[in-house]
Chain A
Amino acid sequence: MAKDIHCPLPGVFYRKPAPNEPNFVEDGASVAAGTVIGLVEVMKSFHEVTAEEAGDNIRFEVENEGQVTAGTVLAKMD
């Protein structure tokens, strides 16, 4: 069954810690519970988004620097 990772806050979603660095997690990877999968910038402050449970074959639904609202599905996993 697919598992969704929801965005906790509205703002801008970043897949990498800084512009010149690699993504936190690449598409297709397996993640453990608590893994940081991205950042949300809200009102000039940055908040980590973590996977609440473990999953395989992660597929991102939102691009780097995409605008999000609270509840947006950021990624799906198996």
Chain B
Amino acid sequence: MDLTGKTLFVANRGEIAVRIVHAAKALGLRTVQAHSEADADMLAVRLADEGVEIGPAQATKSYLDVDRVVAAARESGADAVHPGYGFLSESPRFARAVEAAGLIFVGPSADTIERMGDKARARETAIAAGVPVTPGSDGRIESVEAAARIAGELGYPVMIKAAAGGGGRGIRVIESEADLAKQMPAAQSEAEAAFGDGGLYMERFVDKARHVEVQILGDGDRAVHAWERECSLQRRRQKVWEEAPAACLSQEEREALCASAVRLAESVGYRGAGTLEYLFDEARREFYFIEMNTRIQVEHPVTELVTGIDLVAEQIRVAFGAPLSLEQDDIRLDGHAIEVRVNAEDPAKNFMPFPGVTGAMHLPEGVRFDTMLYEGYAIPPFYDSLLGKLIVKGDDRAAALARLAEAIDATRLEGLKTTLPLHAALARDPDVARGDYHTTWLEDWLKTAGLG
């Protein structure tokens, strides 16, 4: 498909806007970059063919303002809108408004975004597609007796969660039947007080869970996977380090996991790039679907390095109506890739944000650095702290880790405080080298071993 001369409107900022502009230009597209008043000098604006201001610094009045972004896209003469990640990328209202304006939304249909964005409906969709979900009660638990019976089947410890809760609130871990009898009434009244709904449900508690996720691509008819990533190193539920493939899986487990993701994607006629997130219970060797992200993800480059696919380019081509250019058998894993997130935060001062002015920059040869930075750039304080991502590849995981340690040592970002010292320490940590970690490992490590 020839996209030469078509126009893509980039409705995002920072490093992902830079990534999208590069991919679009390589496809022959003209690019129009949206920006707030505070972002007029950002790198993506400099690289794009045109920049369009969409409002004040505050994201709610610019990058998150559906009507304003859609109007700007239409006025720019764009054929399509790329939402990046975050901001409006998973807003069904935005996707509908873009299409109502006669433009292409680079992503799945608004209905798919809506369906997969609702946790309960996403879980039902997964079950219907034969994708394993966290074992738990089928709906609400009505009595302590019923709860004890289900907990007996699941095996302790279990979690009880407020049906109306969310974002980690209203969750209790229950160790035994005696504990259940004691905690359930308290959890009910707490849920009633907090959410106006005392309803509870139960799930198996996965201790030392690992976060694995599958990259998928679809064209509306057919879907393929581009294997999986592991993102278990997290701080405050935010990923800081990602790898492809997941070293904790056997080849058989990997294939079962990835096949399940394709089943789900095809069951909803998925179009574009998406990611299915799972918990992996290492002790039981089982994986459970948690949620789907219906957009490109921050950590997509590790998948690109081990498969050779340009995910953003494929996402754009499919949005313009092209069929997938890949067959599943063409997508092979080669080597091991690691990405570390370079945030404007000082790890020596409890990750205090550091929106400084970028001085001299030096990056070693042969590593990929997806970034919003350039020399002299003043980092605005109004948005998240992600400056860029350093991504390395090796023949195997040990080689990638060694490469990463060297690359971080050779990187100079003058004038800034970043999370690179954290990654330098992690790259040499024996637990990390053994792959012996889980989603709360980093928090414990920061409290104990930490940065010394």
**A18 → B minimal CB distance (Å):** 15
Among the 9-residue stretches A4-12, A21-29, A31-39, the one with 4 or more Cβ atoms under 8 Å from chain B is A4-12
Contact with B along A34-78 (1 / 0, CB 8 A): 000000001111000000000000000000010100000000000
Contact surface of B with A, Cβ cutoff 8 Å: 57-58, 344-345, 353, 355, 381-385
CB distance from B348 to the nearest CB of A (A): 16
Give the total of A residues in contact with B, Cβ under 8 Å: 10
Contact B57 A43 (CB under 8 A): no
Show 9 residue pairs from A and B whose CB-CB distance is below 8 angstroms, ordered by the A residue.
Answer: A11-B355, A12-B381, A42-B355, A42-B381, A43-B345, A43-B382, A44-B384, A65-B58, A67-B57
A9–B344 Cα gap in the complex (Å)?
13
Q: Which of A9, A12, A65, A67 contacts B353 (CB 8 A)?
A: A9
| Top 4 A-B pairs, shortest CB-CB distance | A43-B353, A11-B381, A43-B385, A10-B381
Among A43, A65, A67, point to the contact of B355 (Cβ < 8 A): A43
Q: Which chain B residue lies CB-closest to A69? A: B381
Question: A69 CA to B58 CA in the complex, in Å?
Answer: 15
B383 touches A44 (CB 8 A): yes
Given contacts A12-B58, A67-B57, A44 and B385 within 8 Å (CB-CB): yes
Query: What is the minimal beta-carbon distance from B408 to any residue of chain A, in angstroms?
Result: 22
Complex CA gap A43/B355 in Å reads 8
In the bound complex, how far is the Cα of B382 from the Cα of A55, in angstroms?
Answer: 31
Identify the A interface with B (CB < 8 A): 9-12, 42-45, 65, 67
Report which residue of B58, B344, B355, B383 has the largest number of chain A beta carbons within 10 angstroms of its beta carbon: B355
Question: Contact between B383 and A43 (Cβ–Cβ < 8 Å)?
Answer: yes
* B14 shortest CB reach to chain A, Å: 11
Q: Which residue of A lies closest to B351 (CB)?
A: A45
- Residues of chain A with a CB closer than 8 A to B381's CB: 9-12, 42-43
Q: Which residue, of B57, B353, B381, B383, has the highest number of chain A Cβ atoms within 10 A?
A: B381
User: How far is it, in angstroms, between the C-alpha of A65 and the C-alpha of B345 when the chains are bound?
Assistant: 23
A12: contacting residue among B344, B345, B382, B384, CB under 8 A: B382
**Contacting residues, chain A, for B383 (C-beta < 8 A):** 43-44
| Closest beta carbon of chain B to A13's beta carbon, Å | 11
Q: Is the CB of A10 within 8 A of B58?
A: no
Complex CA gap A11/B382 in Å reads 6
Apart from A12-B57, A44-B383, list 8 A-B contacts with CB within 8 A. A9-B353, A10-B381, A11-B381, A12-B381, A43-B344, A43-B355, A43-B381, A44-B384
